[in-house]
Structure 1
Amino acid sequence: MIEILDSAQLATARRSGALVANILQTLKNRTVVGTNLLDIDRWAQQMIDSAGAQSCYVDYAPSFGRGPFGHYICTAVNDAVLHGLPHDYHLVDGDLLTLDLAVSQDGIAADSAISFIVGETQAEQSVALIEITQQALEAGIAAAQPGARIGDISFAIGSVLSTAGYPVNTEFGGHGIGSTMHQDPHVANTGRPGRGYQLRPGLLLALEPWVMLDTARLVTDADGWTLRSATGCRTAHSEHTVAITEQGPEILTLPILA
């Protein structure tokens, strides 16, 4: 299913996007060496509930997971990159943490992810991984113009990642979003320009470049959810929900906290 939102739904999407962005920023600011992943999950639940919103993850049970997910946020550490199931782990200095959050408010969902390093140790490779996903996301957003095609976005993202020397996995990527978290069209993190669905105003896309340092192959944890690099290398992930408008792409998941 591909949804095209009307102006009222787009206004709702902006509120959902702001909520997701501000929760993620608050969680990042509260996360320090020694923070437990289960505390991050609890904090996310408290903020979602206090906003009168709904988690897109708690009851999420797709075919590829061992569902339902049962938590409010994805917490992926170091070699984990996607669907990180929160567990009893205290973060240490230098950990590369990805927080991925999807929330529905008044019937419209928004989805975003941030990667950052915990503590003072800023390993060069970890910093580079985070920066390249952010650059690829910026390129993908810039390509998300009305009249363009999904392949144009995929090509823009993939060009940044591959030019920097990172392998690109196409099993998981961006996606449509709206009344549900995951919709068509799929947005692979590499592709051919001029191909695929043509972008129309009112379309919402969650664009999410992610990379692993030296492999494109994923392995799944025994928890049935957490996806890790097959070699144990570090990973990073950046994501925004973007609305296609007549004027161009509008990022809905930018934080507005002071």
Structure 2
Amino acid sequence: MSVDGSQRRKEARIKKRRNVIRFLIVSLVLVGMGCLVFLTDIFLVRSIEFIDYEYLEENQLLERSELRVGEHILMMDTGQAAKNLNQLGYVKNTSIVRVFPNRIKVYITPREPAAILKWTEGYAYIDMDGVVAEKTKSPDRWDLVWITGLEAIVSKVDETDPFQTTPSWLGKDVLAALKILQKEDLLTFVAEINVTEDGQLHLYTKGESLIKTAGSENMKSKIDFLFTYLREKDDRMVIDLTHGGNPTFTPR
């Protein structure tokens, strides 16, 4: 019995020694890895790339993101950097990827302007949801639809937020009209959407026609006519769609 007990104690000591050795080896490996990661320059960021983004200069994006070349790749707060970039009007969404050992790639979904909103303090580029991409005193793009007639009721125009009107339904009706035209690929045929004092939406076309509608629902109900006229027959006419019957035509 004493021999068996001695053997068991010996085996226990050997097992314990092996465990200690394993622990020391693992600890040394971890320390070595820690030194490699934190005490060498292998993981210091050498490049920050903004992939396929054209609206703003790279130096503007870098400044807003607060990302810095030379920082440790694991210490960079990419979440905060994405939030910083999302505060820019022309940025809809941001994804930041660490490419080990020392590169950062920034993927930005741009906010694409769909229209130019005229308001009392100037103009605003807005997307299809009415979110403001940029405020300006002098717009320099003429390929977008102009929205006029809301100047007196626009109550808020802030970058990265939807513009607001009082009453709110009128601004929403304009956005609904934009989406109807976009869905049918007709936006490029319309130069201006004018909101009249009684809430009608008048479309000024690039063929110099004026199409009077009672609002987005009226436009939706007459979409087949609008599709055919804008694509095939647009030629300096005043067209009234506000009544329940067939469109009425008057030369301009």
TM score, norm. by length of structure 2:
0.22
Higher helix share: 2
